[in-house]
């Protein structure tokens, strides 16, 4: 469930729990709204947690080790 779906679930749950006066036989809309809000909140927390892990940057690579080639001559320079 993405961020958008979680926020929609949270909003619809809040509307059902707080703003609706409907009476449906066998269904308590206040409880359904609270459950939807809880699921939406869990979805938002899970999405943020996963998104936070994705944004972590890997440490920069170490500088490459360059070995210089030493050339030894048979004779010194002063000759």
**Mean pLDDT of the 62-78 span:** 65
pLDDT computed for residue 6 by the predictor: 93
- Whole-number Å distance between alpha carbons of 71 and 49: 56
Residue 75 has pLDDT above 70, yes or no: no
> Above 60 in pLDDT, residue 79?
no
Find out whether 41 and 78 touch, Cβ atoms under 8 Å: no
DSSP letter at 27? B
Residue pLDDT, tens place only, 18-68: 998 888 899 999 999 999 999 999 999 999 888 776 666 667 777 777 776
Can you tell me the mean pLDDT for 73-77?
60
In the chain, domain spans: 3-55
């Amino acid at each position: 469930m993405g961020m958008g779906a979680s926020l929609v679930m949270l909003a619809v749950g809040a509307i059902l729990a707080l703003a609706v006066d409907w009476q449906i036989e066998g269904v308590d809309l206040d409880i359904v709204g609270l459950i939807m809000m809880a699921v939406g909140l869990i979805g938002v927390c899970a999405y943020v947690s996963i998104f936070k892990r994705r944004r972590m940057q890997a440490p920069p690579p170490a500088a490459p080790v360059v070995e210089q080639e030493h050339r030894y001559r048979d004779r010194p320079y002063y000759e």
